[in-house]
Amino acid sequence: MTKLIICRHGNTFGPEDTPTRVGAHTDLPLVEKGLEQARAIGRWLKENGIYPEAVYCSELQRTRQTAETALAEAGYKEPVYALKIFNEIDYGPDENRTEKEVIERIGEDAIKAWDQDAIVPDGWNVDPQTIIKNLVDFADHIVKDEQECVLVVTSNGIARFIPHITGDFDGFAAQHKIKISTGGICVLEHDGQTWLIREWNLKPAPN
């Protein structure tokens, strides 16, 4: 059985910061809270006896920091490989804008559709079919390669498409929130025939 663990990176804004919609063109580091979330992922891995034999992140530092911090906390020595397919999406004119500014431009209904059904708002430079294909191909590859456990750290714009790996995105989205919290963990397992989601948006306890 192959296990695929996909996490969202930790926080990139502190309590005194004004959060913005950070996409592919804004490369922020983790703040202390984000590092705490990354360490919590590492403790969760170790406490559950989960040892990823391969670890991937995006080309953005917030995902690499999360992956490397989690591995260090768990005491694991695996290298972390960056893949472009896990880069955050391009928010176009809404890149680095506050949520208020984004809603003023596209409206609350568009944000709701994005958060509930991954329907891309007008103006964002996103090709859902490419994202879905990349995720499905990656998942298929690790099964064919007979890897037992793989860890991926990515961003929320990409992660919400994860249920497509199972072939039943609509059924899953009808029962779960597809938006994943910072530091959230999703666990998928391949039972020899299909991918099943075992955990979704699991938030490990801080130390």
Instruction: Name the CA dihedral angle for 167, 172, 177, 180, rounded to a multiple of 10 degrees.
Output: -40
pLDDT at 16: 93
- pLDDT at position 207 is 75
The residue ranges of every structural domain in the chain are: 2-202
Taking the CA atoms of residue 157, residue 52, residue 48 and residue 75 in that order, the dihedral angle to the nearest 10 degrees is -110
Classify residue 94 by its DSSP letter: G
* Domain 2-202: top CATH class: alpha beta
> What's the longest Cα–Cα distance across the chain?
48
Q: What is the pLDDT of residue 18?
A: 95
Q: What is the pLDDT of residues 61-84, one digit of tens each?
A: 999 999 999 999 999 999 999 999
Tokens describing residue 120: 């891309």
Written as tens digits, the pLDDT of the chain (207 aa) is: 899 999 999 999 999 999 999 999 999 999 999 999 999 999 999 999 999 999 999 999 999 999 999 999 999 999 999 999 999 999 999 999 999 999 999 999 999 999 999 999 999 999 999 999 999 999 999 999 999 999 999 999 999 999 999 999 999 999 999 999 999 999 999 999 999 999 999 999 877
In contact, 10 and 36? CB cutoff 8 Å: yes
The per-residue DSSP string of 3-22 comes to: EEEEEE------TTS-----
